[in-house]
């Protein structure tokens, strides 16, 4: 189990969500699916 507080874990999640959003902002769903580097890294 992580020794980080729940608040820090949530901040980590929010930072990751923000990065995913910024990396995929200009992509269509189809281009996201066709770009294996993007789709694999997000899952």
Residue 34 CA, distance from chain mean position: 17
In angstroms, rounded to a whole number, what is the distance separating the alpha carbons of residues 32 and 25? 10
Distance CA 24, CA 28 (A): 8
| Structure confidence at residue 41 (pLDDT) | 60
pLDDT, one tens digit per residue, over 2-42 is 789 999 999 999 999 999 889 889 999 898 888 866 655 65
In this predicted structure, what is the pLDDT of residue 2? 76
The rounded distance, in Å, linking the Cα atoms of 6 and 25 is 28
* Residue 35 pLDDT: 80
């Amino acid at each position: 189990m992580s020794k980080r507080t729940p608040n820090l874990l949530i901040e980590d999640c929010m930072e990751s969500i923000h990065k995913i959003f910024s990396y995929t902002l200009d992509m269509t769903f189809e281009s996201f699916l066709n770009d294996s580097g993007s789709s694999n890294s997000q899952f």
